[in-house]
């Protein structure tokens, strides 16, 4: 059928023409022309001939108008079809890398089953690879969002150069999915290594040579028994497991990964309930003034025992709180409990409290801390906030503003885990600290390594030069204590003095320590 008649209006026009031809044939057969001629002759004096002419001309004009209208409608339909195709492409593709997105994957792949007509494209098995970039946020902070976009475009080109471009999808900010066809188990591993090598090569952007890592998880599609979506989910689980092991790791999916995720989900649900019920409590480890031997403070450490009596390590539940956004609620609740406990101590004893790197991204952190202090009646001068070096590099300007607000209110600030983070000397030069805490990894081994001993000596010397008090963490032996006193350490912390204890035991500990000091 000609294009002219593919539209509804065209078909209607064809029907009208057919009806007209039929009526003409019927009229010719029945002698309608003779009757019409007689009618015109009989009523000529009334203008019947002119009426018939007008009707003919009107019919012809109507037919021409209909044809023109059909052509116009056809043009509009074509424009609409092109606009719809463009909108569909926009909805199914990432605007930056031009790769198909998650919606395209769900709509065009997940619901498709291979058939005999698919040919070479679906020949053999299908392996799903999930790729997540490591360190992308730091690069983004270094070279700006435009530079980060340029990096993503280059990474996508490198991935497409390895895998078929039609089988590469961008699922999120820095997450990609690849479908590889017909790979053996050994080839899957080689393909993962090749992806890491391609992604991690330096990329020159605005004069900077930047690098990112890659974490990769993969799994094979069992097309006869499941949707491809299930395979993509397992590859995603494997990718997160690889990411937890450090940058540039790749792992094939194993069932234990699913169990781990289920355990974590269960723990997350328990954590939410525990925060609501205030079941997570602060325990306190003493800080000893090495000049006097008396207690000068307690560091609050979070402890959680669930309803089954199982003790959950802080490194586990605090990490979950940070990832799920529960850290602010947990922090405020623990700080409030610790402030109330600190009011039972002597006024000379300070409360040390840790702030996680995630919290330093909160521009209202200082206001939150001061609000909790005010609500619980603890003077700001009795609080010491401990911040790790890694927490300062995410947003230096914001970190400086937070520290300034805390200092202005009278809160002390300690640089925790000194020597283990980024550019320790730079942090001391940029920010103002009241104390530096030397990480226990130095204290445990410095006597066995001459170079490390020199580093520890330099740390204490740096503290004296800057008039900043120094705390040694992880003191467990009297020999360590004796050496640290000789080096000029101000404050000691570790199992040699006392393990973390519940609030009700702190007052008795202070009394005993005072008695020991007096007896000594």
* Residue range 44-97, pLDDT digits in tens: 666 666 776 677 777 778 777 777 777 777 788 888 888 888 888 888 888 888
Identify the burial level of 355 via C-beta atoms within 10 angstroms of its C-beta, where 0-12 means exposed, 13-18 middle and 19 or more buried: buried
- In this prediction, residues 148-156 reach a mean pLDDT of 90
Query: Between 15 and 152, whose confidence is greater?
Result: 152
Helices (H), 304-417: 314-324, 327-342, 365-376, 396-409
- The closest of 279, 422, 277, 415 to 352, measured between CA atoms, is 415
The average confidence (pLDDT) of the chain is 84
pLDDT, position 8: 66
Calpha distance 316→238 (Å, rounded) = 19
Identify the burial level of 130 via C-beta atoms within 10 angstroms of its C-beta, where 0-12 means exposed, 13-18 middle and 19 or more buried: buried
What is the CATH architecture of 102-110+121-253? Answer: 2-Layer Sandwich (3.30)
3-class secondary-structure state, position 289: strand
DSSP 118: G
| Residue partners of 176: CB distance under 8 A and separation at least 6 | 99, 130, 131, 132, 155, 156, 159, 168, 169, 170
pLDDT digits (tens, 9 = 90+) for 313-341: 999 999 999 988 999 999 999 999 999 99
- The closest of 334, 387, 384 to 361, measured between CA atoms, is 387
Confidence category of residue 501, pLDDT binned at 50, 70, 90: very high
pLDDT, position 123: 47
pLDDT, position 116: 47
pLDDT, position 111: 47
User: pTM for the complete prediction?
Assistant: 0.68
3-class secondary-structure state, position 449: coil
Residues 312, 267: contact at Cβ < 8 Å? Answer: yes
Confidence category of residue 121, pLDDT binned at 50, 70, 90: very low
Residues 288, 294: contact at Cβ < 8 Å? Answer: yes
Which of 16-30, 406-420, 445-459, 493-507 has the highest average model confidence (pLDDT)?
493-507
**Positive/negative CA dihedral, 203, 205, 207, 213:** negative
- Which amino acids are annotated catalytic? 473
pLDDT, position 13: 66
pLDDT digits (tens, 9 = 90+) for 220-232: 987 666 788 888 9
- In this prediction, residues 401-422 reach a mean pLDDT of 87
3-class secondary-structure state, position 102: helix
* pLDDT at residue 137 tops 90: no
pLDDT digits (tens, 9 = 90+) for 439-498: 888 887 766 677 778 888 888 888 888 889 999 999 998 988 998 898 889 999 999 999
- CA angle, corner 355, sides to 408 and 499, nearest 5? 115
Domain edges within the chain: 3-92, 102-110+121-253, 263-519
DSSP 152-173: HHHHHHHHHHHS-GGGEEE-SS
Fold assignment, 263-519: TIM Barrel (3.20.20)
* pLDDT at residue 362 tops 70: yes
Residues 131, 213: contact at Cβ < 8 Å? Answer: no
Least confident of 121-130, 205-214, 270-279, 297-306: 121-130
- In this prediction, residues 353-373 reach a mean pLDDT of 93
What is the percentage of the chain residues whose pLDDT exceeds 90?
Answer: 40
Which of 115-129, 137-151, 201-215 has the highest average model confidence (pLDDT)?
201-215
Helices (H), 93-135: 102-105
- In this prediction, residues 172-192 reach a mean pLDDT of 89
- The closest of 259, 253, 211 to 232, measured between CA atoms, is 253
What is the percentage of the chain residues whose pLDDT exceeds 70?
Answer: 85
Query: Between 23 and 298, whose confidence is greater?
Result: 298
pLDDT digits (tens, 9 = 90+) for 259-283: 888 888 899 999 999 999 999 999 9
Least confident of 52-56, 389-393, 398-402: 52-56
CATH topology identical between 102-110+121-253 and 263-519:
no
């Amino acid at each position: 059928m000609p294009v002219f008649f593919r539209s509804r209006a065209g078909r209607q026009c064809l029907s009208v023409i057919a009806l007209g031809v039929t009526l003409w044939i019927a009229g010719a057969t029945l002698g309608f022309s003779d009757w019409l001629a007689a009618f015109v002759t009989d009523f000529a004096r009334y203008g019947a001939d002119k009426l018939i002419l007008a009707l003919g001309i009107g019919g012809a004009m109507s037919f021409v108008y209909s044809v023109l209208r059909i052509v116009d409608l056809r043009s509009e339909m074509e424009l609409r079809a092109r606009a719809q195709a463009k909108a569909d492409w926009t909805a199914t593709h990432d605007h930056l890398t031009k790769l198909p997105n998650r919606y395209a994957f769900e709509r065009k792949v997940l619901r498709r089953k291979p058939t005999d007509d698919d040919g070479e494209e679906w020949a053999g098995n299908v392996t799903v690879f999930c790729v997540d970039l490591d360190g992308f946020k730091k690069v983004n902070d270094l070279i700006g969002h435009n530079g980060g976009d340029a990096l993503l475009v280059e990474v996508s080109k490198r991935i497409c150069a390895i895998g078929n471009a039609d089988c590469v999808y961008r699922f999120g900010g820095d997450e990609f999915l690849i479908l590889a066809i017909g790979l053996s188990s050994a080839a899957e591993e080689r393909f993962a290594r090749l992806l890491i090598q391609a992604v991690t090569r330096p990329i020159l952007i605005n004069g900077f040579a930047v690098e990112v890592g890659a974490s990769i998880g993969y799994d094979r599609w069992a097309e006869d028994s499941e949707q491809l979506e299930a395979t993509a989910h397992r590859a995603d689980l494997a990718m997160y497991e690889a990411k937890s092991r450090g940058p540039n790791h790749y792992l094939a999916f194993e069932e234990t990964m699913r169990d781990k995720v289920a355990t974590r989900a269960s723990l997350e649900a328990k954590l939410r309930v525990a925060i609501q019920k205030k079941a997570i409590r602060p325990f306190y480890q003493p800080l000893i003034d090495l000049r006097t031997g008396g207690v000068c403070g307690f560091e609050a450490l979070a402890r959680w025992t669930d309803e089954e009596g199982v003790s959950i390590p802080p490194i586990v539940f605090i990490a979950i709180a940070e990832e799920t956004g529960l850290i602010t609620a947990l922090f405020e609740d623990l700080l409030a409990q610790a402030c109330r406990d600190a009011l039972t101590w002597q006024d000379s004893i300070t409360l040390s409290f840790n702030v996680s790197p995630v919290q330093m991204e909160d521009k209202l952190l200082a206001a939150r801390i001061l609000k909790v202090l005010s609500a619980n009646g603890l003077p700001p001068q009795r609080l010491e906030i401990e911040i790790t070096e890694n927490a300062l590099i995410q947003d230096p300007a914001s970190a400086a503003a937070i520290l300034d607000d805390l200092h202005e209110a009278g809160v002390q600030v300690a640089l925790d885990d000194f020597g283990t983070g980024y550019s320790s000397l730079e942090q001391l030069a940029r920010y103002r600290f009241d104390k530096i805490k030397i990480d226990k990894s130095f204290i445990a081994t410095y006597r066995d390594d001459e170079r490390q001993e020199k580093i520890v000596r330099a740390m204490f010397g740096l503290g004296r030069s800057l008039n900043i008090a120094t705390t040694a963490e992880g003191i467990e032996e009297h020999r360590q204590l004796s050496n640290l006193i000789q080096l000029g350490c101000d404050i000691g912390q570790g199992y040699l003095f006392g393990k973390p204890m519940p609030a009700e035991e702190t007052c008795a500990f202070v009394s005993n320590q005072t008695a020991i000091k007096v007896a000594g």
